[in-house]
Amino acid sequence: MRIGVDVGGTKIEAILLDSTGEELARRRRDSPQGNYEATLVLIDELVEELERDFGVTATVGVGIPGTISPATGLVKNANSTWLTGHPFQHDLARCLNRTIKAANDADCFVVSESTDGAAQGARSVFGVILGTGVGGGLCWEGRPIVGPNAIAGEWGHNPLPWPKDDERPGPECYCGLRGCLETFLSGPGMINDHFQRTGEHVTPQEIYSRALGHDFECLKTLERYEHRLARGLASVINIFDPEVIVLGGGMSNIDRWYHTVPTLWGAWVFSDRVDTRLETPRFGDSSGVRGAAWLWPLE
């Protein structure tokens, strides 16, 4: 039996898989934002609940919105900033009284979708997380590409490519720089962009719904977002040239992107045509939790 845990900015989700990958149970709780110790306790509770309900002891893999530094063993680059600087993998292993595996949530997501998801059968895949933050993971033949710095695929902290004059220098990012893709393409990034233009605080889903009703300002917000998304993904295609790009996270649930973005990105891709496919995740916006569960057999 395998348990996967996905630690997000707004929720923590746990899943129990059997040896064939069939989902037996899933649990979800709100993240204890800003509280590191409470995060450890909540994960411990979710694991205990699943094991108690099914009478099993399982391996545990965890996806986090950051990564474990190979140099220090501490979490770095976490959008859920209360994890940063802590020995998360060590501390959680102590809480659970067992060895665990931890990986970047985007790496977990792309492993899941490459194995039996929307990119099944593709050799090269880029998995994107568009949610509270913006992350990415690269997969080659079903295996995550991690890199010596454990940051492969972290496109969210590259600058927005081919910026327009009114996009410079860009919003401030928590990483200390300005104009990172995350500041434009995250859920809060869209909210901020719409507010700067209209003075209204509106959620991305409300913006999308109002755009369907022909709200001019909401439609313009969507157009700016998809143009930026197309530019960001074009830069990845130029470097990695993936067969498939799979979008995940809350912002991936807007149907529009899958039709409009591929019609736009060719303007910046250095090719006569673009055969890369843009896909919705087969397992929904929580697909990463499956990849976390499969961290054990991957090594």
Confidence of residue 295 (pLDDT cuts 50, 70, 90): confident
Q: How far is CA 191 from the centre of its chain?
A: 18
Quick one: 230 and 171 in the same domain? Answer: yes
Quick one: 149 and 246 in the same domain? Answer: yes
Q: Which residues pair with 148 in a beta bridge?
A: none
Query: Is residue 115 a part of any domain in this protein?
Result: no
Q: Number of structural domains, the chain?
A: 2
Dump pLDDT digits (tens) for 188-204.
999 999 999 999 999 99
Angle at which helices 256-264 and 216-240 cross, to 10°? 60
pLDDT at 299 over 80: no
Quick one: 99 and 138 in the same domain? Answer: no
- 215 burial level (CB within 10 Å; 0-12, 13-18, 19+): middle
What pLDDT is recorded for position 74? 96
Query: Is residue 299 a part of any domain in this protein?
Result: no
What pLDDT is recorded for position 221? 98
Quick one: 41 and 172 in the same domain? Answer: no
Query: Is residue 116 a part of any domain in this protein?
Result: no
Confidence of residue 19 (pLDDT cuts 50, 70, 90): confident
Indicate the helix (H) or strand (E) that contains 88.
helix 88-96
Both tokens assigned to 135: 């992350």
Quick one: 236 and 174 in the same domain? Answer: yes
Separation of alpha carbons 153 and 215, rounded Å: 35
What pLDDT is recorded for position 196? 96
DSSP state of 132: S
What residues have CB less than 8 Å from 53, skipping those under 6 apart?
25
In percent, the amount of the chain with pLDDT more than 70 equals 98
pLDDT at 144 over 70: yes
CA angle 19, 22, 24 (to 5 degrees): 100
Quick one: 79 and 154 in the same domain? Answer: no
Separation of alpha carbons 8 and 166, rounded Å: 31
What pLDDT is recorded for position 297? 66
Written as one letter, the residue type at 262 is P
Query: Is residue 117 a part of any domain in this protein?
Result: no
Confidence of residue 133 (pLDDT cuts 50, 70, 90): confident
In percent, the amount of the chain with pLDDT more than 90 equals 82
Dump pLDDT digits (tens) for 243-271.
999 999 889 999 999 999 999 999 999 99
Dump pLDDT digits (tens) for 38-88.
999 999 999 999 999 999 999 999 999 889 999 999 999 887 889 999 999
Where is pLDDT greater, at 265 or 298?
265
Query: Is residue 298 a part of any domain in this protein?
Result: no
Confidence of residue 142 (pLDDT cuts 50, 70, 90): confident
Query: Is residue 112 a part of any domain in this protein?
Result: no
Which pTM was predicted? 0.85
Query: Is residue 146 a part of any domain in this protein?
Result: yes
What pLDDT is recorded for position 162? 98
Quick one: 103 and 235 in the same domain? Answer: no
Separation of alpha carbons 15 and 26, rounded Å: 4
Domain that includes residue 187, residue range: 122-281
Strands 2-7 and 59-64 turn out to be parallel
| Interval 94-120 mean pLDDT | 92
Separation of alpha carbons 201 and 204, rounded Å: 10
Quick one: 222 and 136 in the same domain? Answer: yes
Quick one: 142 and 89 in the same domain? Answer: no
Closest CA to 81 of 64, 69, 60: 64
**Alpha helices (runs of H) in the chain, residue ranges in sequence order:** 36-54, 88-96, 105-116, 181-185, 187-198, 204-212, 216-240, 256-264, 288-293
Confidence of residue 20 (pLDDT cuts 50, 70, 90): confident
Q: How many residues does the chain have?
A: 299
Query: Is residue 113 a part of any domain in this protein?
Result: no
> What mean pLDDT is reported for the chain?
93
Separation of alpha carbons 138 and 152, rounded Å: 7
- Domain with residue 83: its CATH number is 3.30.420.40
CB atoms under 10 Å from CB of 253, counted, come to 17
Separation of alpha carbons 153 and 138, rounded Å: 6
Quick one: 22 and 81 in the same domain? Answer: yes
| Interval 150-170 mean pLDDT | 95
